[in-house]
Amino acid sequence: MVRVDLSGAAAFFDPAGPDYAAAAKAHRDLVDGTGAGSEFTGWLNLPARIKDGELKSILAAAQKIRSRSKALVVIGIGGSYLGAKGAIELLRPVPSEDDPMILFAGNGLSPDALTDIIEKLGDRDFDVNVISKSGTTLEPAIAFRVFRKLLRDKYGAAAKKHIFATTDSAKGVLKSMADAEGWECFVVPDDVGGRYSVLSAVGLLPMAVAGIDVKAVVNRAIEELKALDLRSPENPAWQYAAARQHLYGRGRGIEILACYEPSFRFMAEWWKQLYGESEGKNGIGIYPASVELTADLHSMGQYIQDGPRTLIETVVSFDKPRHAFPLPFEMGDPDGLNYLAGKDLGDICATAAEAVKSAHISGGVPNIVISVPSRDEAGFAALVCFFEVACAISGYMSGVNPFDQPGVEAYKKNMFRLLGKPGT
């Protein structure tokens, strides 16, 4: 399990402290299915189901793609791409020679961005993984039409063998198209919302194609979810959920997720969706933001230290870097850094993190540290399960349904009307 350290937040708590009784109730509601939106809590046993289900097909499809193609175009938006993109950047920041290029399309409407993706793709052999529960979401639907045409132009009748559809198991436009054309299909489970779907085929197929050991991810996730069922204030998910709700009640309206690994950048985007979409409703919710450290100490650092005292800083910390990197000694010490020569950069980074933590606490920013053993498949799985469970508990504690997203419809209705979609 990940470890949560609240010592840097304690000075900002009321004497009563975080409400673990409320966390316990929220956890019960989640597990017993007595909370709002309980029809979307299938992610609680998703890794176990997929292991006994389609994991083999996912691995086989990934192997097929890796062996014949130099690129995979992943078409999806929101929960249909953020998790996989976050995982791939975190775990495979530099692709190996054998890894197909992973291109994410259909997550916007910019003609320039789509043109750029097609240019990057070049004349590589490629496959497409289209990910959409319904098939009617505009952005991926448009991109998918474009790439279907590119596939037909390139492969003719064999194009259909290059399409993998991750969609509803039975209904919807995309499923109908897949059945009619004979595309290989994977399932977006009915009881799992988009932002909780990274450990389904939605996330696992692109991750596997990128060279991530998704079997290790799934195995570890099964263990983590078991461990996170702990009903006690020792549960890190209770700690995180209860602490942030407590701080929110004391005027802390913005949470900054920070990490000292630049490869974490897109995991923070995944986290923003998870928390922002789950909790931001009914006029309440902590605003989820992120910084990359130490880079952003030289940009947002000033605000964090001296701006309004409305922030919570949550640091995701990996216990061990992947690589040793001792700082070289240099004759003559022209830059005055020889006092660090021979020290490992990882240790210097850890020291900097300590210094930042104490500076920010002194400056009036409560600090939560989430420690993950390693930046690998196990660490990724642990982090995902932790954040998902904690988010559901936190959402219930705040009184919202953490599994719906009624506000997402407003612009869509406007848009389809303005575009003249038949029937609007």
| Residues annotated as part of the active site | 277, 298, 412
Name the residue among 195, 69, 175 with its Cα closest to residue 130. Answer: 175
Name the residue among 17, 24, 26 with its Cα closest to residue 395. Answer: 26
Residue spans of beta strands (DSSP E) within 337-384: 367-374
Name the residue among 277, 281, 305 with its Cα closest to residue 291. Answer: 305
Tell the smallest beta-carbon distance from residue 125 to its own copies (Å): 19
The answer to whether the CB of 196 falls within 8 A of the CB of 40 is: yes
The answer to whether the CB of 69 falls within 8 A of the CB of 126 is: yes
* Residue 38, burial from CB neighbour count under 10 angstroms (0-12, 13-18, 19+): middle
* Residue 331, burial from CB neighbour count under 10 angstroms (0-12, 13-18, 19+): exposed
The answer to whether the CB of 262 falls within 8 A of the CB of 378 is: no
* Residue 197 neighbours by CB under 8 Å, 6+ apart: 43, 79, 80, 83, 188, 189, 203
Is residue 308 within a helix (H) or strand (E), and if so which, with residue range?
none
How far does the chain reach from its first CA to its final CA, in angstroms? 48
Up-side HSE of residue 332: CA atoms within 13 Å toward CB? 1
The answer to whether the CB of 107 falls within 8 A of the CB of 93 is: no
